Chain A
Amino acid sequence: MARPSRQTIRLTVTLSLAVILACGLIYTSFSAANPTVDPTTLLKEAQPGRAYELTGVVVAHSVRRVGETLTFQIADRQGGAAVTVDYSGEVPDPFREGREVIVTVRRGPGGTFVGERNSLITKCPSKYKAAPPAANRS
């Protein structure tokens, strides 16, 4: 049997390494990822200690700050279930009632959820203009 050329060996080694690294990367992405959930799903499925990416809309009149902690409620985009989040860390400028936000949370005591520090992001409102209502289109 002919011995494989040096080029074939190099190619095999390189490809094997690439496959091993890619497998590691894929495995860790699944194990390190946080499920993205809305408030309804979070209330149903949240397990203690596990982190979730919570997305939804900040409920009107729910925002209050006590010392370093910002407490607010997030509801489903179409309304309905809402969860209370105790958050500390950077608050993005566009954060306000009625805005869509994403925050990493874990289940806390007493039915509340604790936001991971500096994990709150708010969608840029300028990018969310719906098309003009048909009635007002000329």
Chain B
Amino acid sequence: MAGLGRACLLLILAVCAYGIGAGLYSARFARARGERESWLDSARRCIYAVALLTTVAMAVLEVAFLRNDFRFYTVATTSSRTTPELYRAAAIWASQEGSLLLWTWLLSLWSSLILLLTRRRLRDAAPYAISILLGLCAFFDALMVFYANPFNTLRRIPAEGDGLDPLLRFPTMILHPPMLYSGYTLAMIPFAFGAGALIARRIDAQWIRLIRRFALASWLFLGIGILLGARWSFAELGWGGYWGWDPVENAALLPWLTGTAFIHSLMIQERRGMLKVWNASLVLATGTLAVMGTFLVRSGVLDSIHAFGASTLGVPFLVLIALLIGGSIYLVVSRRPLLRSEHRLESLLSREAAFLANNLVLVGLGFVVFWGTYFPLISKVVAGQQSSVGPPWFDRYTVPLALVLVALTGLGPLIPWRRASLAGLRRHLLPPLAVGAAVGLGLAVGGLGSSPSAVAAVSLCAFAIAVTAGEVVRGVRVRTAVAHELPAVALIRLVARNRRRYGGYLVHVGIALLLIGVAVSSSFMRQQERQLAVGQAVKVGPYTVRYVKPTASLLNGPDHTGATIDVGAVLEVSRNGRRQFLIKPSEGFYPTTEAGQGPVSALIGGQAVSHIAISAGIGGDFWSAIEPNIHTPRLTEILERANRIVQPTNATEAAVALAVLLREYLREAPPAQFNLISYPFVEWVWLGGLVGLLGALIALIPPPPPLLARARAKVGSLVGAVAEG
């Protein structure tokens, strides 16, 4: 099986080399039209072949994981028999080599999709785009062949694997990498076609139209990946936050920010033929940032919680990034005469100007995040001393920029294209402004004035939501008046007829809700880290938390993540003397294959992972984590005695020893360390994220083909005639 996988990787290299040659030959040297077409078709089939070969390679590796085939080095180091099956299936992307294979697989699949959709279009740009996409596939494939082969096998096959890191045994982590990588790889499609169009000097509106959905899909998948990662951070890691400005988080945020700018600015190009240089630059920058994000995680160049350290992939990635940046700059500069705007900005009070301002803010945000993320490298080069900036530095710049962005999000839909009249703008602006002001005043009077930035953020978000609601209400009113439809029917048809516009509005609402969650939860969270004995209580914001009793379970922990033992507590949370709810945080202890531990200690000597308990509500969450002390002298003595008595191969004896240990723990539980947080409005972060992603999904759904639309209209009129008759 490993041989088949290795053969696939080698074949992919050969197919990519042939396909790149065929693509370039069809564009540069093939003279007759028929010859050109046949070479282009041949190059296109190479992408399909790469998709097929990577699918086979993925299947081989997946089967190895599911069958616990520890001959595979990757399986032996990232999976084990005790890893639950669901997580074993997803462990493929927990390793460096597995994630490289996932990248290549997704890139080949998405590339195949766009080539299927554009079979008879973009004939001039396609050869170059195919060559670029195959070049990227070849690059990632070569990394696997020469640096990190997922099909490396071991001569001495271990009886048991190291297991999937328990921190990754969390539902959202099954989907997080594929979503994020889909976002990254989808960003390469507009990159390849944009570069292809620039090389071929065919910079008409067609390439923008064709790649628009892929740019939006990339944005959507990156958004899902970022949201799932934030949820994992919040509900699995024991620190209690969802965003820490970690370099790897920032790496995913950067192409998302430039992608957001592109999705807005391409509307100006479609409508007014403006900002062509800007759009070409954004497409190329987004693709390059996607590769840089992948580089950052794999090179070990920055200290990050997630980075793959001690890696040898840094140099090849740097060469690729240098090529992408150099090539992009050359293409934009050399094709500048072809990218002239067809119109000029007529007024600062126009939608074009608002979109341009929105773009500048988004790119400004991107610059801040880029600078802060890569600052350790920059400072090393400039000052000779590696330094880094922390979350307060990021907050200082991103908070005001985000506030300006929300204000522009509200303003944009109200301003017409080309030129707005002040009177008209005032008429449309006053009601949502009044809503924003009223919300701000209410918050200040309600005692939340201690955080002016939070009040400003919530007010601006309320303003943006009010603008969107006003736009939707206006549209529904028009339909009910003109077409005599019921409001609900009018709303559905309004959205269905213009999915892109109303999907976009829903995204705005989602982002506003998310920002409300971020502003309120970060400004008004209350946290206590305390050591508590059974019966003791502590005040956390408006709540009083009492440690009622310890809990312990053997082999069947509440999270079903394969923990050997799970030790926790029952906490009673009350407010104003009234019991609100019980909450049960715990910590799972996992086995280890490290040598030198006794047979019983080895069962619990691996990673210890918090199983966070959250009582969630729309008004706020109560978040709790526990770090129990199972290393008291009494418990250590029991464990050491068990290590001496129990036979290494006798699982029953080991389980009995652990049961004794847990019984002793429950009999006289030592004080445990608790991390307790009252988090107002934090659910709005997830709710807003979901609403925004739903909006993007609506915007992504293609309109029905003309024939189908005509048939539907015909059926509708027939049904109407029958009803009237």
Interface residues of A (CB under 8 A from B): 7, 10, 14, 18, 21-22, 25-26, 28-30, 32-36, 53, 55, 65, 67-68, 88-94, 96, 100, 102, 104, 118-119, 121-132, 135-138
Contact = CB atoms under 8 A, between A and B. Distances in A.
Given A29-B372, A30-B387, A126-B94, 5 more contacts: A34-B389, A53-B303, A91-B238, A126-B165, A136-B156
B154 interface: yes
Interface in B378-394: 379, 383, 385-390, 392-393
A53 B388 contact: yes
A21 B238 contact: no
A92 B239 contact: yes
B309 A34 contact: no
A94 B607 contact: yes
Contacts of A25: 367-368, 371, 397
A118 B528 CA distance: 12
B165 A125 contact: yes
A90 B675 contact: yes
Given A33-B379, A33-B388, A90-B240, A137 B155 contact: yes
25 contacts: A25-B371, A28-B396, A29-B375, A30-B379, A30-B387, A33-B389, A34-B389, A35-B387, A53-B387, A65-B673, A67-B531, A68-B529, A88-B529, A90-B529, A91-B627, A93-B238, A100-B309, A121-B246, A123-B307, A126-B94, A126-B95, A127-B96, A128-B310, A136-B155, A137-B153
Contacts of B165: 124-126
B303 A102 contact: yes
A133 B239 CA distance: 35
B308 A127 contact: yes
Contacts of B393: 28-29, 32-33
B26 interface: no
B399 interface: no
A30 B168 contact: no
B509 to A, nearest CB: 29
Given A36-B303, A102-B303, A138 B238 contact: no
B344 interface: yes
Contacts of B397: 25
B306 A124 contact: yes
A131 B309 CA distance: 12
A90 B344 contact: no
Interface string B495-533: 000000000000000000000000000000000011100
A138 B153 contact: yes
B529 A89 contact: yes
Contacts of B154: 132, 136-138
Contacts of A36: 303, 376, 386-388
A130 B309 CA distance: 9
Contacts of A93: 167, 237-238, 607-610
Given A28-B393, A125-B165, A14 B364 contact: no
B374 to A, nearest CB: 10
B360 interface: yes
B643 interface: no
Could you say which of A119, A127, A131 has the most chain B C-beta atoms within 10 Å of its C-beta? A127
Contacts of B383: 30
Contacts of A21: 364
B239 A90 contact: yes
B239 A68 contact: no
Contacts of B155: 135-138
A10 B348 CA distance: 10
A92 B239 CA distance: 6
Nearest to B383: A30
A102 B237 CA distance: 16
Contacts of A124: 165, 167, 305-306
B152 interface: yes
Contacts of A26: 371
Nearest to B91: A126
Contacts of A122: 305
A7 B167 contact: no
Contacts of B529: 68, 88-90
Contacts of A32: 389-390, 392-393
B345 interface: yes
Contacts of A96: 608
Given A28-B393, A29-B372, A126-B165, A35 B386 contact: yes
Nearest to B162: A129
State the 5 A-B residue pairs at the shortest beta-carbon distance, nearest first. Answer: A126-B165, A33-B387, A36-B386, A90-B239, A138-B155
B164 interface: yes
Contacts of B642: none
A119 B246 CA distance: 12
A65 B309 CA distance: 29
A59 to B, nearest CB: 17
Contacts of A29: 371-372, 375, 389, 393
A136 B158 CA distance: 11
A93 B239 CA distance: 9
Contacts of A118: 239
B72 to A, nearest CB: 10
Contact of B77 (A33, A123, A129): A129
Contacts of A100: 309
B388 A132 contact: no
Interface in B291-338: 303-310
Nearest to B236: A93
B184 interface: no
A120 B11 CA distance: 45
A34 B95 contact: no
B319 to A, nearest CB: 21
Nearest to B165: A126
Nearest to A36: B386
A26 B389 CA distance: 11
A132 to B, nearest CB: 4
A94 B387 CA distance: 24
Contacts of A132: 73, 152, 154
B390 A104 contact: yes
A22 B167 contact: no
Interface string B652-692: 00000000000000000000010100000000000000000
B609 A129 contact: no
A33 to B, nearest CB: 4
Interface string B224-262: 000000000000011110000010000000000000000
Given A7-B344, A67-B531, A136-B156, A33 B310 contact: no
A25 B367 CA distance: 10
Interface in B106-164: 148, 152-156, 164
A56 B164 CA distance: 24
A33 B393 CA distance: 8
A43 B79 CA distance: 40
B78 interface: yes
Nearest to B154: A136
A128 B309 contact: yes
A23 to B, nearest CB: 12
Contacts of A131: 148, 152
Contacts of A33: 375, 379, 387-389, 393
B237 to A, nearest CB: 7
Interface in B65-82: 71, 73, 77-78
Contacts of B385: 35
Interface in B389-420: 389-390, 392-393, 396-397
Nearest to A41: B385
Interface in B593-633: 607-610, 627
Given A7-B345, A132-B152, A138-B153, A127 B379 contact: no
A115 to B, nearest CB: 13
